[in-house]
Amino acid sequence: MKNDKKPKSAFKKIWHRYQLTRWIIVMFLLLFFVMSAYCTFVAKTTHVQDLQSSLEQSTVIYDGNNKKAGKIYSQKGTYVGFKDISPNIPNAILSTEDRNFYNEHGFSVKGFGRAMLLMIKNKIMRRDYISGGGSTLTQQLVKNAYLTQQQTFSRKLKELFLSIQVENVYSKNQILTMYMNNSYFGNGVYGVEDASRRYFGMNAKDLPVQDAAVIAGMLTNPSAYNPVDHPKLALDRRNVVLQLMADNNKISQSEANKLKKTPIQVKNTYQYKDGYKYPYYFDAVIDEAINKYGLSESDIMNRGYKIYTTLNQDQQNSMQDDFANDSNFPSNASDGTKVQAASIALDPSTGGVTAVVGGRGQHVFRGYNRATQIKRQPGSTIKPLAVYTPALENGYNYNDMLQNKKTSYGSNKYTPENYNNVYTGTVPMYTALAQSMNAPAVWLLHKIGVDKGYESVKSFGLPVQKKDKNLALALGGLSSGVSPQQMAGAYTAFANEGNMTTPHYIRKIVDSSGNVIVNNESVTSKKVMSKEVANKMTSMMLGVFDNGTGASAKPSGYSIAGKTGSTEADNTGDSDATRDKWIIGYTPKVVVATWEGFDNTNAGHHLENLSGTGVGPLFKTELQQILPTTGNNNFSVKDAAYMDSQEKKANSSSDSSFWDSVSDGANQVSKSLGKGWDNLKKNASNWWNDAKKFVGD
């Protein structure tokens, strides 16, 4: 027994000596103070004063001319004021959800205490969540508006402090109105106004008691208790709510008993207003707001922002119509799989994206956008970036003669081949580009040095890696691939006198209170090449559509410059099988990049015709509709082939004039000499006659 008492007495001595009880209390109070300070900071900086305005308004997208282009909906029903809601609805909701709503300041002491006990229980049982907690209506509003649905103690504590802050800013009726307009009622319907129309075919202000009880009953589980999908469960739940209303003295018991016997009459007059008119463009706007400006999807969908973009609605509508027209595309694969495609148009002077479509078929919200997300080999569309631009910068001229022979390079015997296996010995640079010849492009990159080509591609903003530093770079051999948006961005440098602009969608974002939270109005550009080089590149790329690989895709009545490209499909057993087809075209006013191919390329899913012109029908149709919306598209330079012919003609004329002058001079000398000889002979004869006369005399 003595041995048992000694450890206990020693423990007590240590406990009392170091005053551990006080230290535990101090640590607990310190922890509580820190957490309270943090939650107070969160509550004070959340700007709850904007809550009502953000819930009342949907996020609106504006185009480049500040005209409304559409709305982004999420937890947004038709917002109605308190006076436009039947008193039967708040009576039913308060009787069911929070009877003490008007007598508490944002939270329930009993409810929060219950949450604490449940938290302790769950921690002991190693559960990292709270199983309940008696949230008030204000807490539920705050949770839906600001917080995640994750049931953790830290979230619960934030919810409490935010609720107190909301109660400090808004009246009880304002809070109740926001709650009723922001609640979910199943079948994609938010708010009591749209719920009343969806389930009972009337406005919320006209809803009778029994139908208001159905609405209130759905709040705990909209999927299980809505009268369309589960009429029996909805009826049982409605009767529970009617009884709670009687218990809360909102209706009499006799009225409750009478109403419990009435059936639920469902009538649907709700019409969903789809403001998501340009799905791929709006997706890209949301992605940019999240990835570039740090907003959350929830903020964008629910905060009532005004987002001003660079959208051109005429171009976007026409591009969407083009993608909906199957005649613009090759036939489906034998199993019915569609050939996919993506297109993007942007203003080269600003980088603002004016239209974008990221695929064919049904759109999925924030789904795969091939215009911005694919990583495919660019093929010959990289030649202007990797070969011809750095060649001009290093002393070559657009009409210099290049070697056009089948040649092997390096120890690995890399041997590029022209598409048709035709080699002419030499070829002018502009012809090699326009006809997309491989052998001259690789020869030229070899001459100027791969390092210069690599650095050039890098300066255009494409994602090259060190392992791409080889001669295959001339033909688009990149490790990671590129998207149409990246290629369109690179080509802005040619259209914009050597200045490259960055593709973007958002100009400005304004919150529901009128504060500008994003301002991207100023244009930034990067000097990639001189104006002279840009003009020479444009003159060469005019030939692509005048007499080169893009001639069939040239829009009638317009001059455009650009490049086509394609990549081989491996392991298909078809020598002409193609994986990717590209066309990029531009004027001084617009750049359009279009890609075509299958998402997964194999023996049964590939394109034909490696020449790269198969995507022409779509591209030509797009440009035919887009160019009239862009104003003056005239270039300041001519096609390189025309310029070269004029230069040769001028040189030929100059040479001819020189030799004509020499000939005329010789004739004049000859005539003068002839006249002089005649005069000399005549004078000599006269002298002889005079001499004879003198001798005779």
Any idea which residues carry the catalytic annotation? Answer: 97, 380
Tokens encoding 516: 């500008």
Its sign, for the CA torsion 395, 478, 461, 545, is positive
Q: Which whole-number Å values give the CA distances from 222 to 121, 142, 227, 561, in the listed order?
A: 29, 19, 10, 57
Q: How far apart are CA 499 and CA 493, in angstroms?
A: 5
Nearest C-alpha neighbor of 310 from the set 62, 499, 489, 496? 62
* Residues 31, 37, 40: CA angle, nearest 5 degrees: 135
User: H-helix or E-strand containing 322?
Assistant: helix 313-324
The counts of H helices and E strands in the chain are: 26, 14
* Residues 244, 149, 151: CA angle, nearest 5 degrees: 85
Three-state secondary-structure class, residue 483? coil
Q: How many CB atoms lie within 10 A of CB 124?
A: 8
Residues 6+ apart with CB under 8 A from 202: 196, 267, 269
How much is the CA Rg of the chain, to the nearest whole Å?
40
Q: How far apart are CA 224 and CA 222, in angstroms?
A: 6
Its sign, for the CA torsion 245, 247, 250, 255, is positive
Q: How far apart are CA 295 and CA 286, in angstroms?
A: 9
- Beta-carbon-side half-sphere exposure of residue 401 (alpha carbons within 13 Å): 5
